[in-house]
Homo-oligomer: A and B are copies of this chain.
């Protein structure tokens, strides 16, 4: 006999989101583990690889990886110790530091990515029909924009809400 407020479908919806996400990241972690990386470490290296000059300022890296600035310092410490990235000085501002992907770091990504993409295809993108996937990604984009502090304001989902907020 569970009481009503604890069975609210919106709680169940969040629970589903969590289960799907945790399950996916658990699968992806096993791939990263084979290459000696955690998910955050991989994400850090990938962000660098996708940035101009293979580098990113520490504070930008923190924002992109959803880590605190001190958390970023620590991830970068570990990766620098292993030679997968290097710290360089920011030109024109001696306070700043950049993290720069090394050749070894790029190689690590090159080794990891093919297996990772195959796993993503199995567990995620290939588990939905192409149309379903596009719709799903569109909803994710909307949620991300709704939920991210810095994001531009997102228009309401329906006319009622539009009327209220006008």
Contacts and interface: CB of A to CB of B under 8 A. Distances in A.
Q: Is the interface of A mostly helix, strand, loop or mixed?
A: helix
B123 A24 contact: no
B49 A2 contact: yes
A129 interface: yes
Contacts of A24: 14, 17, 143, 147
A10 B117 contact: yes
Interface residues of A, number: 65
Nearest to A161: B126
A166 interface: no
Contacts of A136: 135-136, 139
Interface stretch (A69-77, A78-86, A108-116): A108-116
Interface in A77-105: none
Given A11-B46, A132-B135, 5 more contacts: A1-B52, A20-B141, A24-B143, A124-B147, A126-B161
B10 A124 contact: yes
Interface in A1-53: 1-3, 5-8, 10-11, 13-28, 43, 46, 49-52
Contacts of A16: 137, 140-141, 144
B125 A13 contact: yes
Nearest to A21: B21
B139 A23 contact: no
Nearest to A9: B125
A43 B24 CA distance: 19
A113 to B, nearest CB: 5
Contact of A157 (B13, B18, B127): B127
